[in-house]
Amino acid sequence: MLLFLIFLLVYILTFITNVLIIMIVSQASNLHSPMYIFIASLSMLEILYVSVTTPHMLSILLVKLKTISFEGCMTQLYVFFSLGCSECFLLTMMAGDRYLAICYPLRYSSIMTTRMCLQLIIICYVSGFLASIVTVTFVAQLPFCGSNQINHFFCDYPPVVKLSCIKTNAAEIIFLSLSACLSLVLTCFILTMASYICIIFTILNSRRGQRKAFSTCLSHLSVVSMFYGTVIFMYIRPSSKYDLNNDKVVSVVYSVVTPLLNPLIYSLRNKEFQKAVQHFDLRNIVIFFFKNRKIFM
């Protein structure tokens, strides 16, 4: 019951804070720029991301509903991997956005338009869901036998593969050779780090204005460090090194805690966002909803 209350509180806070970020960005005209549109799309992604695993985990803790169908397990695995890949793409785009803003400030407004930003966000989502097809197709075709008890609170790749009857080494070789997800994660991580290396070199030879602009990158760099640190630890290693009991703790960090910390990191370090929060009026959102209720219904 104690764990249920803790994770329920975290889930509610995650949902509310990310929804508020989306509302504030949509309402504040001074936040209608590519950087904040990326942040709002990341908040939407975090809402979906945490909703894939946490509700089922809460049902396990409260009503002891510990069963899931094979189709439901594969669906959860696919959506979880797809959202994870989409977040990798989105974080890379956000790093590229900061790279253009700091390294090419005069050309930034002409390159990174609102239309271009929205197109990049759509590409991130679509690419993430396409990239996960190979991984989940492979897992779904594995032969399962014996006890089908998953040592986890959701259907993740390591515990599901542990249940298969084929040799772990063979599964690992096939997975590493076929999976687009891991190669994409590493590629996105390298591109993100390369962007920030270029940004750092530019800052070292820049004026104060550009150094001030670099402060907007620190929040994004913190989110990138948390996300990639846990993901690389979980998936970029041999399956023989998996310790499912310890991995469950790490999984809580990137699937439950990180979606809560992301909006806090962005809001606490950003003065423009803090100013927009002070002028935020929830009544405008309610009025907008009722005026456009036919669209939502």
pLDDT tens-digit profile of 134-177?
778 878 887 887 678 887 888 887 788 778 776 655 556 556 54
pLDDT of residue 101: 86
Indicate if the pLDDT at residue 122 is higher than 50: yes
Indicate if the pLDDT at residue 53 is higher than 80: yes
Indicate if the pLDDT at residue 295 is higher than 50: no
Q: How confident is the model at residue 123 (pLDDT cuts 50, 70, 90)?
A: very high
Indicate the class that CATH gives domain 2-296.
Answer: mainly alpha
Average pLDDT over residues 270-282: 68
Q: How confident is the model at residue 296 (pLDDT cuts 50, 70, 90)?
A: very low
What percentage of the chain reaches a pLDDT higher than 70?
76
Angle between helices 208-235 and 258-268 (to 10 degrees): 180
Q: How confident is the model at residue 214 (pLDDT cuts 50, 70, 90)?
A: low
Highest mean pLDDT among 192-196, 204-208, 289-293: 192-196
Q: How confident is the model at residue 213 (pLDDT cuts 50, 70, 90)?
A: low
Indicate if the pLDDT at residue 124 is higher than 90: yes
- Is the model more confident about 277 or about 131? 131
Q: How confident is the model at residue 241 (pLDDT cuts 50, 70, 90)?
A: low
Q: How confident is the model at residue 297 (pLDDT cuts 50, 70, 90)?
A: very low
pLDDT of residue 242: 59
Q: What is the average pLDDT score of the chain? A: 79
Q: How confident is the model at residue 119 (pLDDT cuts 50, 70, 90)?
A: very high
pLDDT of residue 286: 57
Q: How confident is the model at residue 86 (pLDDT cuts 50, 70, 90)?
A: very high
Q: How confident is the model at residue 121 (pLDDT cuts 50, 70, 90)?
A: very high
- Is the model more confident about 69 or about 274? 69
pLDDT of residue 208: 55
pLDDT of residue 196: 86
pLDDT of residue 256: 83
- How is the chain split into domains, by residue range? 2-296
